[in-house]
Amino acid sequence: MSVVSFLENEKYARLRDTVREFIEAEIPWEKAREIDQSDQYPHDLIAKVGQLGLLGLNVSPEYGGMGGNVIDVMVLYEEVSKRLPVLAWTLGNVTLYGNEIISINGNKEQTEKYLPRLVNGELLFSFSLTEPDAGSDAANIKTSAVFKNGYYFINGTKMFISGAGVSDINIVLTRTAKSRYGGITSFLVDCKAEGYTATPIKKLGYNGSDTCEVVYEDVKVSPQDILGGEECLNQGWKQMMNTLNGERLALSACALGIGQAVIDQVITFVLKNYNFNNIANQTIQHRIVEMATELEAARQLAYNAAWMEVNSRDCVKETSMSKYYSTETAKKIARESMDLMGEFGSLEETDIQRFFRDVTILTIGGGTSQIMKNIVTKTLGI
């Protein structure tokens, strides 16, 4: 089956239509600009996505979800990113850091406790891996969890944690033994716990995503708060690996949406400002054709990798290629479109500069392009 034909099937077409209708009704362009400028987390829009049942897109019906998979999530993220990329990013506080991590790695008690409440919009999750000295070199984490008198006490600092100030549950990767990969444990931390402090960081792009520094000072958790339960002590690295394909694909979809939105906007702009009966302007048409072709190639790569993931094929190479290529392509499209639009593209009231700022983050978050290339390098046996 080709990638195009499975995306045309009724299920995905219906989902795409639902999301498009939601966007037209609930996120006029002015609202998208307002959220960017005010840097406010879009709680109200997440609640409305919940009313459509879409927070449970990738959750089993047993827990109130729709029983979909990463392809459904990609369709949602791609469409949303065409209007308000930060909404797709913040939906990650439910669908990726909540649903996906708990469905894959949670034990029975945790899935029963959290999934229904994620689906009905009661809970937001955040995911703390990165530290000041552990970004690309993620296994270098120093945040510790020390066992004392029946409890673990977490101490350390995490950086760039999305939604850490607004979330209810924070999944934190800690060092519990010396072994580089085999000494990491993930805990589910209640964000109201004493000693948990999240401070927002000002940054370029994805305004409204509540990116934070998180400090843990003697945060007390019980052995039952280990992701997957007590028997998953020191299994944190392996658990994280299980979710990386899904994250790379979701971020690819964000890039596809932004790339498409930018192309749509640049076409509107050039139609208004250039006379295409003039042969000299053919160069502009060709530049846009190149962008559209590269974006279509990225889309085929991403959904092919997603099909492999859903059908349990080994696809670390394909998801990493997709994350690298989709995000770099969308970034290139945004940069070139800013050039094509001249001074107009940089005006604050235009959307193009907002898409340009947002897409810049996509080549960093979830593993940088260089790290994706390192992963592909290994799969090629070089």
Ligand X SMILES: Cc1cc2nc3c(=O)[nH]c(=O)nc-3n(C[C@H](O)[C@H](O)[C@H](O)COP(=O)(O)OP(=O)(O)OC[C@H]3O[C@@H](n4cnc5c(N)ncnc54)[C@H](O)[C@@H]3O)c2cc1C
Task: Give the residues lining the site for ligand X (CB under 6 A).
Answer: 127-130, 135-136, 160-162, 203, 206, 211, 361, 364-368, 370-371, 374
Residue closer to ligand X (CB basis): 201 or 288: 201
C-beta closer to ligand X: residue 98 or 263: 98
- Could you write out the three-class secondary structure of 215-261? EEEEEEECHHHECCCHHHCCCHHHHHHHHHHHHHHHHHHHHHHHHHH
Choose between 128 and 326: whose C-beta lies nearer to ligand X: 128
Coil vs helix vs strand at 185: strand
The minimum distance between CB 368 and ligand X, in angstroms, equals 3
Nearer to ligand X, 19 or 129 (CB): 129
DSSP symbols for 106-156: --HHHHHHHHHHHHTT---EEEE--BTTBSSSGGG---EEEEETTEEEEEE
Q: Residue with structure tokens 């810049």? A: 360
CB of 126 to ligand X, least distance (A): 6
Given a contact cutoff of 8 angstroms between Cβ atoms, the answer to whether 55 and 92 are in contact is no
Dihedral sign for Cα atoms in the order 114, 119, 122, 128: positive
Residue 206 or 303 with smaller CB distance to ligand X: 206
Amino acid symbol at 282: Q
CA distance 17 to 61: 22
Minimum gap (Å) between residue 57 Cβ and ligand X: 20
Smallest gap from residue 373 Cβ to ligand X (A)? 8
* Minimum separation from the CB atom of position 347 to ligand X (A): 24
**Minimal CB distance residue for ligand X:** 135
Least distance from C-beta 161 to ligand X, angstroms?
5
Nearest to ligand X of 88, 361 (CB atom): 361
Q: What distance in Å separates the CA atoms of residue 39 and residue 202, rounded to the nearest whole number?
A: 9
Identity of the residue, 160 or 269, whose beta carbon is nearer to ligand X in the bound complex: 160
Residue 274 class from Cβ within 10 Å (0-12 exposed, 13-18 middle, 19+ buried)? middle
Are 59 and 118 spatial neighbours (Cβ–Cβ below 8 Å)? yes
Shortest approach of ligand X to residue 312 CB, angstroms? 26
Query: Chain centroid to CA 10: how far?
Result: 25
Name the minimum Å distance from CB 252 to ligand X.
15
CB crowding 141-166: b at 16 or more within 10 Å, else e: bebebeeeeeebbbbbbbbbbbbbbb
Cβ closest to ligand X, residue 130 vs residue 265: 130
